[in-house]
Amino acid sequence: MKPLKRPVRRGLLVAHVAVSVSWLGLTVGLLALGITAFATGDPATVGAATRAMKIFGDWLVVPVALLALVSGLVLALGTPWGLARHRWVWTKFWLTLITTGLSVFSLRPGIDAAAADEAVDINLVIAPSVATATYLFITAISILKPWGLTRRGRRLRFSASSAKSVDARSPRQTA
């Protein structure tokens, strides 16, 4: 993919961070509603909490998850970080892909079932808890950038440094 121009990259980065933080906030909201529904003995509160979770699930979970995935993928492919050059980017990609799939194929159906029955089991507390922990971990590795290069990243860096050393010894100017 062609490298992104600076204004495009910066705008996409802002959008990616905003969507990712929204996904984290949405999951914390689902967790709060799930705990409320699970811990209360009041059927009216259970019904209200599960209906609110259904609104979040129907309108926000899938678009926010997909936007986070797509914007992160475009950023990875359009910047020098690359998708498979650094372990932290590669880990972030796979965790985002997995959590997006779980949100679409597991969390939403669980929320829909709870809203239809107005009954909550522990899974509607566990799923948002695990998702929240995962998103916090993804946020941490985005900031800390641990673990260094992947094997592919080391190979690309080595080939780039080899090309530079050959060019530096050449008496003719290279493009």
All residues at 6 or more sequence positions from 147 whose CB lies less than 8 Å from its CB, including other chains? 86, 87, 88, 91
Look at residue 166 in the predicted model and tell me its pLDDT.
47
Look at residue 151 in the predicted model and tell me its pLDDT.
85
Question: Cα(175)–Cα(121) distance, rounded to whole angstroms?
Answer: 64
Residue 95: count of CB within 10 angstroms of its CB:
15
Question: Cα(70)–Cα(64) distance, rounded to whole angstroms?
Answer: 10
Look at residue 165 in the predicted model and tell me its pLDDT.
54
Question: Cα(35)–Cα(49) distance, rounded to whole angstroms?
Answer: 9
Look at residue 1 in the predicted model and tell me its pLDDT.
75
pLDDT tens-place string over residues 158-175: 887 776 654 454 445 444
DSSP summary character for residue 172: S
Which residues does the chain have with pLDDT short of 50?
166-167, 169-171, 173-175
Q: Is the pTM of this model over 0.75?
A: yes
Cβ–Cβ < 8 Å for 49, 37 = yes
